[in-house]
Amino acid sequence: MLTPDMTASLNAQINLELQSSNLYLQMSCWCAFKSLDGCAAFLAQHAEEERTHMQKLITYLNETGALVELTAIPAPTARYDSLQELFEQVLEHEQHVTDAINKLVHQAHQTPDYATYQFLQWYVAEQHQEEFLFKSVLDKIKLIGTDHQGVFFIDKEIGALATPPAAGTGVADPTTAAVAQ
């Protein structure tokens, strides 16, 4: 059984994962608007993955008999000056999520609530992967540059990180996902 404080913190994380999903969906739309189809596909897929992170937490709270409470979340920024600025914001956001996960792990340990502590280890590993992924994307952008040809190649490279939809579903096949889940 979760303490009221632990329930409140896990609910905050559920809402942060939803916020992450909305942010990446909005970023995907900006990329589509700029005809950056590879980046749009990659970010749309990542938005879906954030929903799976949220759902995992919802299932955990449901299983423990705690009430999930969704809240209003801030609207994401719709416009960006460049692809580099966009991915800098992604990395910054993921660092913020890592910080939130670290605080949750600390709280679970201090409570003590070892079931939640154990459950959160998946998120600890996931954040390492996500920071690594987005730092690599940003490094590529800085290396290739964002003049006209550069943007074309970056879009292809980043698009290649997105898993093609499973036949006829329009949904990425999770068994072949190249991007961290």
Q: Which of 17/155 has CB closer to ligand OFO?
A: 17
Question: How is the chain classified by DSSP, letter by letter?
Answer: ---HHHHHHHHHHHHHHHHHHHHHHHHHHHHHHTT-HHHHHHHHHHHHHHHHHHHHHHHHHHHHTPPP-----PPPP---S-HHHHHHHHHHHHHHHHHHHHHHHHHHHHTT-HHHHHHHHHHHHHHHHHHHHHHHHHHHHHHH-SSHHHHHHHHHHHHTTSPPBPTTTSSB-GGG--S--
Q: Total binding residues for ligand OFO by CB under 6 A?
A: 9
In whole angstroms, how close is the CB of 54 to ligand OFO at the nearest point? 8
Verify binding: residue 48, ligand OFO, rule CB under 6 A.
no
Q: Which of 113/130 has CB closer to ligand OFO?
A: 130
Verify binding: residue 161, ligand OFO, rule CB under 6 A.
no
Verify binding: residue 17, ligand OFO, rule CB under 6 A.
yes
Q: Which of 43/97 has CB closer to ligand OFO?
A: 97
Residues that bind ligand OFO (CB under 6 A): 17, 20, 50, 53, 94, 97, 123, 126, 130
